Amino acid sequence: MKWLHKDLLDVSQLSKSEVMAIFETAGRFQELQERPVKKVPTLKGRSVILFFAEPSTRTKTSFDVAGKRLSADTFSLAKSSSSLTKGESLKDTALTLQAMAPDAIVIRHWCSGAARFLADRLDCAVINAGDGRHAHPTQAILDSFTLHQEWGDIAGKTILILGDIAHSRVARSNVVMLNKLGAKVRLCAPRTLMPPAVKSWPVQAYSDLNEAVKGVDAVMCLRLQLERQKDGLLPDLREYARTFGLGQKHIDLANPDVRIMHPGPMNRGVEISSDLADSAGSLVLDQVSSGVVTRMALLFLYMTRKGEE
């Protein structure tokens, strides 16, 4: 399939057939995970800059691993080690990076729209690794790929996204992606952590977890993003854990073989019980593995556009 997109800014850019092409490519890279030498020369001689202005463990590391397994040269740039700390504008940072002639830039930034700002000014591929509350397309892709690997087909499945919806770019991207693939999406959160715009989203919204979890096929827990919240949105963490923390009593109301997900990092005992996080139905570590192969697929497709190989 010829890949015609220059940038990945949001999953809304992708058609269902393009999503399935990403899944197919990621599936081919999965075999590489089992090899003693986990490396192919596919992107040898090409370079990827990992520009992370916000902290990240899973996303940054998996992109780094993905690039290296494809034999690309990867270079990391964090806010603390960039001239952003000296007052340099994002525009000047972008122009400086372009002068280094990278083939792709993976960006995470605290401002919504930062990835598009770069994409409009750079000739290389720009992949959004999370911009403010706006979008986290690669997380939504790896989450759906994980479920696709588990079920074969996501269409008709009911998936509950639970937690801090208001501040979550993961939730926003997953709502778009899961609907694109034919799933039924539910959201559950305290009213203070549910965005007002949810009324126009293609979801069912709940404030009662016992009702929200009934008959679902998967529950995707979200991290409480306390760093983005204002005081007064939650009474305290103990009250949140008691009312919205996922436990076995909730799983008993879901469909048999319900799957449990979390994009990480997990706050055990707050968003999810430790027993569930480590249970047979947990796909948390599968999501981490999926993160590597889906990001390999994305780097391959966006760095060899128009069918180049």
Binding residues: 58-59, 86, 108, 136, 139, 169, 223, 264-265
Q: Return the ∠ at Cα 141 (arms to 208 and 228), rounded to 5°.
A: 55
> What is the spatial distance between Cα 163 and Cα 185, in angstroms, rounded to a whole number?
14
User: Under DSSP, is residue 246 helix (H, G, I), strand (E, B) or coil?
Assistant: strand
Cβ atoms of residues 103 and 124 within 8 Å: yes
Extract the annotated binding site for L-aspartate: 86, 169, 223
DSSP-derived letter for residue 267 is -
User: Under DSSP, is residue 165 helix (H, G, I), strand (E, B) or coil?
Assistant: coil
Residue type, 186: R
Extract the annotated binding site for carbamoyl phosphate: 58-59, 108, 136, 139, 264-265
Which residue has tokens 């009474």? 235
Distances (CA, A) of 203 to 16, 89, 105, 129, 241: 19, 38, 33, 24, 24
Closest CA to 237 of 150, 164, 157: 164
* Pairing label, strands 204-206, 184-188: parallel
Is the sign of the CA dihedral 177, 179, 183, 184 positive or negative? positive
List the beta bridge partners of residue 109.
131
Cβ atoms of residues 143 and 174 within 8 Å: yes
* Pairing label, strands 218-221, 259-261: parallel
